[in-house]
Amino acid sequence: MSANSSPTATTPEATTLETEVLIIGGGVTGAGIMRDLALRGIHSLLIDKRDLCAGASGGNHGLLHSGARYVSTDPDAATECRRENSLLKRLAPQCIETAGGLFVAVEGDDPEFAERFPALCQRAGIECEELSPGEARRLEPVLSEKLFKAYRVPDATIDPFHLAMLNVDHARLLNGSIYRPHTEVLGFEIAAGEIRAAICHDHLHQRQLTIRARQFVNAGGAWAMNIARLAACADVHLLYAKGTILVSNDRLAQRVINRLRPPGDGDILVPAGTVSLLGTTSTRVEDLEQVAPTAEEIDRNIREGAVMIPALAGARYIRAFSRVRPLLQTSGTTDRAATRGFALLDHASQGVSNFCTITGGKLTTFRLMAARTADLVARRLGNDQACVTATVPLPDDEASSWADPAAAPKRWHHDRDPDDMILCECEMVPQSAIEQVFANSPGIEKERTIDLIALRTRAGKGPCQGSFCGIRIGSYLYDQGYYRDATGLAHLRDFLDERFKGQRSVIWGPQAAQMELAEALHCGLLGLDTLKDE
């Protein structure tokens, strides 16, 4: 990596940082903006109060929509999805599995809607091929016998973590743009209609941080309205819809399977490497911070999903998660019908001239959202370089691929190095993965933690949900001297707490046995439940 060009940030120890553009929010959009700007030669600093994809970016199906999902409710969003889908398949194939998708109608679903579907797809330019029920069931034997209509569409899956990491990495390599996790905006210094600096709290070092920039971008996702208000901008209106998704122990279907009906609960099953994701529910919420799956949401997803795929009723689930989606507020519509489009607000009417907010939208259209935002920011900076993210492929990067489901076991098996001990047995993440991740995360030398690894590899995401790998990775970090005091234990506890949050709503059957074992290890053996905070 070469340190680069014009206004670069000062050393990490300084309490004031400088950059051209401060991007707030480390979701895929923020990461995409960072790369887009870097490709135009603009230096940026990306911050997140937690870490990459901590919000809706990391809490969705990982579905790269063909657009077919929205043909009835939001034709514009459908068309956008169709374009971005084919662009990303070409430009970021390393994050994508071209699994293909099926839309299936089962007894009780509206036959008229099913009949209209191909025409709706055609209008949005989306390929749609009808399959006989028999053919569909041959492709996906888990499908219900009560299937009466099936179409094939070019849905795919995309790994948001891998995607965000590659965007950040590319920006860093291009011009030394910097990503800082655990940095939260508390307020802005505004003078003469311009934001001068963002006042932040650095959660890692427990200190205040001032970040000076010429342009400020709010890519806060569900938090965008709150962040805009810190700059006295009252023109962001969001609704919050909580969605809950279940993760099965193994991959139940090869393709994305969508229920052929207007969007509803539990109507999509998406493969993610070695597991399947079932969801989602949609519930209006007010609170952004306290979102956890409820038993009722789990039941609803499984009940609905099992109509389409009966095996879902008896499948083993290892985890569930909930995130809040920001929906752009429009009057008189339901949340399901609310636009899945995005909004870019320049806040010119709010008395600040160097601040903008990008929110709404969806994972599939993140590149487009980043492009529109970067266009505005570049124009304001007097940079006339055009967006090139529609043509420049996303470079590959070995360290980031540890986030990819099923990549780790293949690499481990290929390398066949008995000295490279496996730390996470479920997902087969070896020691070398950890060292690669550290090497690829400059600026966090003091924070080589379990959480950092868990986010950037598959560790903790298998059936044991961190029971064993948490201890092994923790031990490894102690062995290597990254941890020297009780901090590692506290981190281990926090990591396991987080995994437990995901498990508590799906504890039955074999997963209940798994939890008993986890409790014996974590409380009985390590006494993490009695650990005192320093």
Partner 1 sequence: MAESAIASINFKAAALELLPEGANFEACLTCGLCSSGCPASGMENMDPRKFIRMALLGMDEELSTTPWIWCCTMCKRCQYVCPMSIDVSQLVFLARGNWPEDRKPAGIVRSCQLATSSDSTSAMGMPPADFVSVVEEVLEEVRATQPDFRHLQAPIDRRGAHFFVNQNSREPMNEPEEMVPLWKIFDVVGADWTYASKGWAAENFCMFSGNEDAWREVVRKRVDAVNQLGCEVWLNTECGHSYYSMWQGIERFGLEANFRLESIVTYYAQWIREGKLPVNSRWNTKGIKFTVQDPCMIVRKAYGDSIAEDMRFVVRTLVGEENFVDMQPNRSANYCCGGGGGFLQAGMTEHRRAYGKRKFDQIAATGAAYVLTPCHNCHSQMHDIGRFYGGHYGVVHLWTLICLSLGILGKNERIYLGPELRG
Closer residue to partner 1, CB minimum distance, 109 or 404: 404
Closest CA to 453 of 36, 115, 165: 165
Chain mean position to CA 147: 32
Span from 48-56, 348-356, 423-431, 495-503 in contact with partner 1 (CB under 8 A): 423-431
Three-class SS state of 156:
strand
Closer residue to partner 1, CB minimum distance, 263 or 460: 460
Closer residue to partner 1, CB minimum distance, 248 or 280: 248
Closer residue to partner 1, CB minimum distance, 162 or 259: 162
Closer residue to partner 1, CB minimum distance, 271 or 488: 271
| Neighbouring residues of 479: CB distance < 8 A, sequence distance ≥ 6 | none
**Which of residues 386, 513, 525, 531 is near partner 1 by CB under 8 A?**
513
Q: Is 376 exposed, middle or buried (0-12, 13-18, 19+ CB in 10 A)?
A: middle
Tokens 């901008």 -> residue? 233
Contacts with partner 1, 358-397, as mask; x by CB under 8 A: ----------------------------------------
Residue 509 Cβ vs partner 1, minimum distance, rounded to whole Å: 8
**Which of residues 115, 129, 425, 529 is near partner 1 by CB under 8 A?**
425
Does 276 contact partner 1 by CB under 8 A?
Answer: no
Closer residue to partner 1, CB minimum distance, 118 or 470: 470
Span from 160-168, 195-203, 209-217, 418-426 in contact with partner 1 (CB under 8 A): 418-426
Closer residue to partner 1, CB minimum distance, 80 or 159: 159
Closer residue to partner 1, CB minimum distance, 189 or 415: 415
Helices (H), ranges, 237-365: 295-308
Closer residue to partner 1, CB minimum distance, 83 or 251: 251
Residue 152 Cβ vs partner 1, minimum distance, rounded to whole Å: 22
How far is residue 444 from each of residues 28, 185, 205, 448, measured CA to CA in Å? 20, 19, 11, 7
Residue 277 Cβ vs partner 1, minimum distance, rounded to whole Å: 16
Three-class SS state of 242:
strand
Does 510 contact partner 1 by CB under 8 A?
Answer: yes
State which amino acid sits at residue 412.
W
Residue 456 Cβ vs partner 1, minimum distance, rounded to whole Å: 19
Does 463 contact partner 1 by CB under 8 A?
Answer: yes
Q: How many residues bind partner 1 (CB under 8 A)?
A: 25
Q: Is 138 exposed, middle or buried (0-12, 13-18, 19+ CB in 10 A)?
A: exposed
**Which of residues 151, 468, 482, 495 is near partner 1 by CB under 8 A?**
468
Distance CA 59, CA 243 (A): 9
DSSP states of 456-479: HSSTT-STTTTTTHHHHHHHHHHH
Q: Is 490 exposed, middle or buried (0-12, 13-18, 19+ CB in 10 A)?
A: middle
Angle at 223 between CA 212 and CA 360, to 5 degrees: 110
**Which of residues 203, 229, 284, 410 is near partner 1 by CB under 8 A?**
410
- Calculate the CA dihedral of residues 431, 436, 441, 443 and round it to 10 degrees: 80
**Which of residues 462, 474, 488, 502 is near partner 1 by CB under 8 A?**
462
Does 517 contact partner 1 by CB under 8 A?
Answer: yes
Span from 115-123, 216-224, 276-284, 512-520 in contact with partner 1 (CB under 8 A): 512-520
Span from 97-105, 132-140, 409-417, 448-456 in contact with partner 1 (CB under 8 A): 409-417
Closer residue to partner 1, CB minimum distance, 189 or 250: 250
Cis peptide before 280 (omega within 30 of 0): yes
Does 250 contact partner 1 by CB under 8 A?
Answer: yes
**Which of residues 426, 433, 477, 528 is near partner 1 by CB under 8 A?**
426
Helices (H), ranges, 125-207: 133-139, 160-175
User: Using an 8 Å Cβ cutoff, are 259 and 267 in contact?
Assistant: yes
Residue 168 Cβ vs partner 1, minimum distance, rounded to whole Å: 27
Does 251 contact partner 1 by CB under 8 A?
Answer: yes
Distance CA 153, CA 103 (A): 8
Closer residue to partner 1, CB minimum distance, 406 or 489: 406
State which amino acid sits at residue 431.
Q
**Which of residues 126, 464, 473, 506 is near partner 1 by CB under 8 A?**
464
DSSP letter, residue 281: -
Closer residue to partner 1, CB minimum distance, 171 or 312: 312
Span from 201-209, 361-369, 483-491, 508-516 in contact with partner 1 (CB under 8 A): 508-516
**Which of residues 142, 190, 406, 489 is near partner 1 by CB under 8 A?**
406
Closer residue to partner 1, CB minimum distance, 360 or 460: 460
Q: What is the sign, positive or negative, of the torsion defined by CA atoms of 264, 225, 66, 73?
A: positive
Distance CA 519, CA 56 (A): 29
Distance CA 295, CA 293 (A): 7
Closest CA to 36 of 97, 28, 51, 93: 28
Residue 528 Cβ vs partner 1, minimum distance, rounded to whole Å: 18
User: Using an 8 Å Cβ cutoff, are 17 and 193 in contact?
Assistant: no
Closer residue to partner 1, CB minimum distance, 236 or 278: 278
Residues that bind partner 1 (CB under 8 A): 249-251, 274, 316, 406, 409-410, 413, 416, 418, 422, 425-428, 462-464, 467-468, 510, 513-514, 517
